[in-house]
């Protein structure tokens, strides 16, 4: 059986696709990729559908070994200094690895999370229609848990596609917004006017209590108009809930389906994946928008991703070569072989 | 808010909430379920999924496919003719061990409302509870019917980890938890019953509209029942509607 072996998962690695859609009425969290743009880019590079399952890594990308005749891998969503069998590997492109070769991803730069895709995807059994891992429910992925050292992920393909590895123009990558746009509601009436102004004026710091479920922020307290208990209702992605202590918590992919703290505003869908890139210590601000504003942001992001997809080209050697780059490319099958030094 | 009143609440650019009342009330909950059925029957394009809760229906949608203004108007028409008769439900008897390591907030909670722990347990046991929604975690049952003397604010800061099977109260609600999870509620006890088991043919034990009665068991009973749950897939008794 062809597998991708997890040699070292880094701090947290889970299998994620677009999420488990349609089961929130039974209390089942959606889960799925925290940064759908990163997931889409990693899949784009290996020719998968944009929301196919990939490995989501956190803070550091770990070490992965191919146990197949060959496999095409790509990493996206964060900057990295990766290597293949110890030799530097170029970013923003796919790499075809042979049996026994190891991809070491290293520390992530510019995002807390990144995505490792494999052409053809993983041969895993969906739970309630998705192979996304939901850690708290212990469902999805290979066994419902985070990936562990030595664990094997079965692959659909035994060999990499025969065409060239693809790369994209990194200058086209969308950049995070200066402020995260949010629409007031559904319980903005549970806060004072000053409380809402605080949310949109203050600088908040991402705390260490930030995971796939929620991100606790530190900063100015937000005043409730009355109590801080509501009758539990549904929670949308990007909901900013404010418990009694007055500090906001942004809710992400692994969020509970319902909850009883008032939700002052909701981060718009186009910005939520960028917010998920933040790590403890990062400072963030929110900005008020509305449905029309959110639609413009969605369109801008979709246009950028379309341009990136259109920029895909067969990976070639950069104009200026150092020996390490040459060696890295030399390990890769296909188009670059002919350029290897004698 | 009048009986037929409703509010459309924004929940970002991919969800909205139709709020049909502000109380834990079987008739409001019945109207939520009625709206949910009406939408399922119409299946408007762009609706991704719906989540019925105590007094509101959350609607997740694809903003590129749903005409939000036309949809809001349609909601207004549907709300005018909802059924407020609660659906018949099954009745479950759920065993609970109270206090100690299984219910770490029992004593403090009793102290806050000047009751002995036995008095608090008696009030909790006396309730005739109804499952108003399944949410928060797979199979987690939110219950209405908590004695008003046990209505307490939630903890200011939620606990990051509470065990599977936790029996808790928060605000005017009571609950049977299914899996380990964070919680801001007061933990009174624990049941060995598994409300969610993905390996079971029917992964979710309780349904909205079911009734639940609690039955006090000892810590030893808890241990032996938990073993039967693990070994034989034991489930509690259930009477049809």
Q: For A241, which residue in chain B has the nearest alpha carbon?
A: B11
Indicate if B21 and B114 belong to the same structural domain: no
Q: How many angstroms separate the Cα of B185 from the Cα of each of A61, A236, A263, B170, B232? A: 37, 21, 18, 5, 31
CB neighbour list of residue A296: distance below 8 Å, 6 or more residues apart: none
Q: Please report whether residue B72 resides in a domain.
A: yes
Q: How confident is the model at residue B4, as a pLDDT?
A: 61
Q: Please report whether residue B86 resides in a domain.
A: no
Eight-class DSSP state of A222: P
pTM: 0.87
A129 CB within 8 Å of a chain B CB: no
Q: Please report whether residue B85 resides in a domain.
A: no
Q: How confident is the model at residue A260, as a pLDDT?
A: 83
What range does the domain containing B121 cover?
91-239
Inter-axis angle of helices A36-46 and A291-310, to 10 degrees? 20
Q: What is the ipTM of this complex?
A: 0.91
Chain A closest CA to B76's CA: distance in Å? 18
Residues in chain A: 342
Q: Could you say which of B79, B106, B133 is where a domain stops?
A: B79
Interchain proximity B11–A234, CB inside 8 Å: yes
Contact (CB, 8 A) for A74 and A170: no
Indicate if B130 and B206 belong to the same structural domain: yes
Indicate if B124 and B75 belong to the same structural domain: no
- Angle ∠(B151,B17,B77) on CA atoms, nearest 5: 115
Q: Where are the beta strands (DSSP E) in B99-231?
A: 129-134, 141-144, 159-162, 166-170, 173-176, 181-183, 186-190, 211-216
Contact (CB, 8 A) for A224 and A241: no
For chains A and B, count residue pairs whose Cβ atoms are closer than 8 Å.
177
Q: Please report whether residue B14 resides in a domain.
A: yes
Give CA–CA dist A219/A129, Å, rounded.
39
Read off the pLDDT of residues B166-178 as tens digits, 9 standing for 90 and up.
999 998 889 999 9
Q: How confident is the model at residue A22, as a pLDDT?
A: 95
Interchain proximity B13–A295, CB inside 8 Å: yes
Read off the pLDDT of residues A126-182 as tens digits, 9 standing for 90 and up.
999 999 999 989 999 999 999 999 999 999 999 999 999 999 999 999 999 999 999
Domain count, chain B: 2
Give CA–CA dist B124/A284, Å, rounded.
44
Q: Could you say which of B48, B79, B110 is where a domain stops?
A: B79
pLDDT band of residue B200 (cuts 50, 70, 90) is confident
Q: Higher confidence at residue B82 or residue A330?
A: B82
Q: Which tokens go with A157?
A: 């393909």
Indicate if B95 and B29 belong to the same structural domain: no
Q: Please report whether residue B60 resides in a domain.
A: yes
Indicate if B38 and B152 belong to the same structural domain: no
Q: Please report whether residue B133 resides in a domain.
A: yes
pLDDT band of residue B122 (cuts 50, 70, 90) is very high
Q: Please report whether residue B84 resides in a domain.
A: no
**Closest-CA residue to B183 (of B167, B206, B197):** B167
Helix (H) or strand (E) holding B72: helix B68-79
Indicate if B29 and B108 belong to the same structural domain: no
Contact (CB, 8 A) for A141 and A283: no
| Across B24-42, average pLDDT | 94
**Closest-CA residue to B150 (of B132, B174, B178, B166):** B174
Q: Could you say which of B79, B109, B131 is where a domain stops?
A: B79
Indicate if B196 and B216 belong to the same structural domain: yes
Give the right CATH number for A180-299 from 2.30.110.10, 2.40.100.10, 1.20.210.10, 3.40.50.12780.
Answer: 2.40.100.10
CATH number at residue B199: 2.40.100.10
- Angle ∠(B140,A32,A175) on CA atoms, nearest 5: 135
Indicate if B65 and B98 belong to the same structural domain: no
Q: Does residue B111 carry a pLDDT above 60? A: yes
Interchain proximity B11–A137, CB inside 8 Å: no
Give CA–CA dist A54/A69, Å, rounded.
20
pLDDT band of residue A228 (cuts 50, 70, 90) is confident
Read off the pLDDT of residues A277-299 as tens digits, 9 standing for 90 and up.
999 999 999 999 999 999 999 99
Indicate if B69 and B187 belong to the same structural domain: no
Chain B closest CA to A286's CA: distance in Å? 14
Give CA–CA dist A142/A125, Å, rounded.
8
Indicate if B56 and B134 belong to the same structural domain: no
Helix-strand-coil percent breakdown of chain A, rounded to 5?
Answer: 20, 30, 50
Q: How confident is the model at residue B87, as a pLDDT?
A: 78
CATH number at residue B43: 3.30.1360.40
Q: How far is CA B1 from the centre of its chain?
A: 23
């Amino acid at each position: 059986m062809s597998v991708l072996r997890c040699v070292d998962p880094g701090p947290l690695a889970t299998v994620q696709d677009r999420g488990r859609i349609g089961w929130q009425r039974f209390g089942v969290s959606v889960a799925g990729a925290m940064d759908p743009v990163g997931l889409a880019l990693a899949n784009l590079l290996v020719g998968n559908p944009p929301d196919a399952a990939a490995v989501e890594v956190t803070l550091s990308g770990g070490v992965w070994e191919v146990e197949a005749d060959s496999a095409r891998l790509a990493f996206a969503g964060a900057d990295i200094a990766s290597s293949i069998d110890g030799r530097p590997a170029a970013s923003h492109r796919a790499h075809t690895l042979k049996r026994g070769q190891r991809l070491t991803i290293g520390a992530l730069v510019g995002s807390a999370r990144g995505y490792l895709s494999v052409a053809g995807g993983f041969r895993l059994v969906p739970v309630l229609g998705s192979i996304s891992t939901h850690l708290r429910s212990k469902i999805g992925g290979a066994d419902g848990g985070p990936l562990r050292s030595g664990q094997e992920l079965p692959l659909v393909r035994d060999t990499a596609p025969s065409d060239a590895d693809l790369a994209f123009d990194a200058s086209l990558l969308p950049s995070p917004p200066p402020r995260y746009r949010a629409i007031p509601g559904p319980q903005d009436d549970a806060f004072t006017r000053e409380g809402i102004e605080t949310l949109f004026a203050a600088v908040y710091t991402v705390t260490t209590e930030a995971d796939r479920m929620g991100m606790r922020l530190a900063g100015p307290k937000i005043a409730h108009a009355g109590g801080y208990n509501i009758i539990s209702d549904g929670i949308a992605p990007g909901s900013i809930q404010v418990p009694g202590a007055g500090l906001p918590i942004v809710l992400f992919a692994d969020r509970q389906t319902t909850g009883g703290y008032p939700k002052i505003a909701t981060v718009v869908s186009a910005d939520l994946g960028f917010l998920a890139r933040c790590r403890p210590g990062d400072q963030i601000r929110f900005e008020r928008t509305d449905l029309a504003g959110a639609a413009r942001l969605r369109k801008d992001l979709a246009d950028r991703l379309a341009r990136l997809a259109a920029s895909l080209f067969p990976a070639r050697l950069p104009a200026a070569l150092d020996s390490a780059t040459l060696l890295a490319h030399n390990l890769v099958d296909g188009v670059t072989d002919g350029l290897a030094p004698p | 808010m009048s009986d037929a009143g409703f509010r459309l609440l924004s929940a970002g650019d991919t969800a909205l909430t139709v709020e049909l009342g502000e109380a834990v009330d079987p008739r409001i909950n019945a109207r939520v379920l009625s709206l949910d059925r009406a939408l399922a029957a119409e299946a408007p394009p762009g609706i991704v999924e719906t989540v019925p809760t105590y007094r509101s229906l959350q609607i997740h949608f694809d903003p590129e496919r749903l005409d939000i203004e036309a949809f809001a108007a349609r909601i207004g028409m549907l709300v005018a003719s909802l059924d407020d008769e609660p659906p018949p439900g099954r009745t479950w008897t759920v065993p609970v061990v109270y206090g100690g390591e299984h219910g770490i907030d029992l004593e403090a909670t009793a102290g806050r409302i000047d009751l002995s722990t036995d008095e608090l347990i008696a009030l909790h046991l006396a309730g005739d509870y109804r499952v108003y929604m399944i949410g928060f975690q797979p199979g987690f049952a939110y219950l209405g019917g908590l004695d008003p003397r046990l209505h307490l604010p939630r903890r200011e800061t939620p606990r990051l980890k509470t065990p599977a099977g936790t029996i808790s109260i928060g605000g005017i609600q009571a609950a049977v938890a299914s899996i380990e999870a964070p919680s801001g509620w007061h933990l009174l006890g624990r049941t060995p019953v598994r409300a969610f088991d993905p390996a079971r043919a029917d992964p979710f034990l309780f349904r909205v509209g079911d009734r639940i009665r609690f039955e006090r068991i000892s810590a030893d009973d808890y241990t032996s029942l938990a073993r039967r749950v693990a070994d034989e897939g034991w489930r509690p008794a259930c009477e049809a509607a």
